[in-house]
Amino acid sequence: MMTTIERIPRVGDGVDRVDGPLKVTGAAPYPGDFDFADLAHAALVRATVAAGRISRIDTGPAEAAPGVLTVITHENAPPLGSGPATSRGPQPPLPLQADRVLHHGQYVAVVVANTAEQAVAAARRVEVHYEPAEPVLDLSDPRGELLTDPWGLDQRRGDTAAAAPEVTVDATYTTPDETNNPLGLFATVASWAGDRLTVHDSTQWPCAVRTALAAAFGLPEGNVRVLAPYVGGGFGNGLRVWPHVPLTALAARMAGRPVKLVLTRPQMFTGVGHRSGTTQHIRLGATRDGDLVTLDHEATAPVAVAHDQYEPVAAGSAAAYACPNVATRDMQRRLNIPPTGSMRAPGEAQGNFALESAMDELACDLGLDPVELRLRNYAEDHPGLGLPWSSKALRACYEQGAERFGWWRRRPEPGLVRDGDWLVGYGMAGVSFFWWQAPCQARASIGRDGRAFVRSAATDIGTGTYTVMTQLSAELLGLSLDQVRLGLGDTDMPMSPQAGGSGLTAALGAAVQAACGQLIQVFLDAVADDPGSPLHGCRLADVTVADGSIHRAGHPDQGEAYTDILARRGLDELTADGGSAPPRPEDVGMAPAGPFGAKFVEVHVDADLGRVRVARVVSVIDGGRILNEKTARSQIIGGTVGGIGMALLEETITDPATGRIANATFGDYLVPVNADIPDLDVQFVGEPDRFNPIGVKGVGEIGLAGTAAAVANAVFNATGKRVRSLPITLDKLLP
- Catalytic annotation, residues: 701
H helix intervals, 384-503: 394-405, 465-477
Amino acid at residue number 536: H
Count of C-beta atoms within a 10 Å radius of residue 655: 12
Burial class (CB in 10 A: 0-12, 13-18, 19+), 488: buried
Amino acid at residue number 455: R
The answer to whether the beta carbons of residues 73 and 109 sit under 8 Å apart is: yes
Amino acid at residue number 240: R
Q: How far is CA 723 from CA 78, 445, 717, in A?
A: 51, 56, 11
Using CA atoms in the order 475, 230, 499, 667, what is the torsion angle rounded to 10 degrees? 130
The answer to whether the beta carbons of residues 41 and 260 sit under 8 Å apart is: yes
The answer to whether the beta carbons of residues 364 and 720 sit under 8 Å apart is: no
The full length of the chain comes to: 735
Q: Which of 126, 128, 135 is nearest to 99 (CA)?
A: 128
State the distance between the two ends of the chain, measured CA to CA, in whole angstroms: 73
Q: Which of 273, 92, 267 is nearest to 185 (CA)?
A: 267
CA 513 to chain centre: 23
Task: Tell me the pairing of strands 440-447 and 422-432.
Answer: unpaired
DSSP 702-734: TTTTTHHHHHHHHHHHHHS----BSS--GGGT-
Q: Which of 518, 710, 721 is nearest to 620 (CA)?
A: 710
Who's near 686: CB < 8 A, 6+ residues apart? 391, 392, 393, 396, 596, 622, 623, 624
Q: Which of 304, 327, 305 is nearest to 314 (CA)?
A: 327
**Omega into 727 within 30° of 0, i.e. cis?**
yes
